[in-house]
Chain A
Amino acid sequence: MAQISCLDLSLGYGSNVIVSGLNFSVNAGDYLCIIGENGSGKTTLMKTILGLQAPASGKIIFGGGITSKEIGYLPQQTEVQKDFPASVWEVVLSGFQGRCGLRPFYNKSEKNFARQAVQKMGIEEITAHCYRELSGGQQQRVLLARALCSTRKIIFLDEPVSGLDPQASSEMYKLIEELNRNDGITIIMISHDIEAALKYSSHILKISTSPEYSEVKR
């Protein structure tokens, strides 16, 4: 059963439609890479699927138990965040907020899970460090750990390696691939890196005036 199906989706605001005719679905365990030129609408597509923006027309259907409380998201960082006074631990824990409802504090199982997520991302040493003092690669790993805390099923990543040096980039890709392969988490990733897309993903969606959705054959 498809986790996400987009039927005849058009993106944009008001009369300004940037992409139309999107038809594709994502199954559990897929690794989808969304590529396209700058401004083609990749981030808009992601935001529309996540419910942060309304589609111009068309439908998005969720299945397989995917609700907004079941997704993980790694958005592009804002300037405010890069300078934010928060400890790594606080940032990672905040991934649970969506599921907390009105409960004001985190319980033990959430904290345990957060510890595991931190270990997976290799950031145990820096949990007490201030977020703004970390390198770009470390910050991205913290955000990935946070995304893990809010989902067991699917993670959306918006250009997760932008601004990272080659080593940090490849570490990031490795971590993402492990999540997909070992934990069965569906990955939907926006990337400029065609090479990485061809190397890691199972499906590629190219956003342009005539979008193309294809499976990657290895």
Chain B
Amino acid sequence: MKKTRRIILLFALVIFACPSFSAFAAQKVDLDLTKLNSMMTYSSVMNILMDPDKYLGKTIKIQGLFDSAQDPDTGTDYFAVAIMDAAACCAMGLDFSPKKEYNYKFPEDFPEIGAKITVVGRLEKYSEGDDIYYQLAEADMFK
């Protein structure tokens, strides 16, 4: 199993509690996955995860279900948007972290786990220790 797949399985979603949810800062979207049907979205996400370096720096808009997980050692919360395939038997997701300036706190400012959510963010690489992870950074979320 590729490392990036394992990474992706750290699900977390940023929940927008604030009404300013809708007033998100307009980012130019390079890859709008919300226009695709579920099978194509799933395939696109899988392709991104198979070769993430090709998509580095691209702003991706993606719609899915919010999920979150906490690293038991560090206490850090991670957020992701999860995509199911057409038969709903497989799932994968993209890590994201919300814009720092919003200063969101989990769980108050974030949606419920499993809620539908749209995320717009730029794909970036970061490392924790020896591992490399990918996430949608400086992300905006809205319903």
Direct chain A–B contact by Cβ atoms under 8 Å: no
Interface residues of A (CB under 8 A from B): none
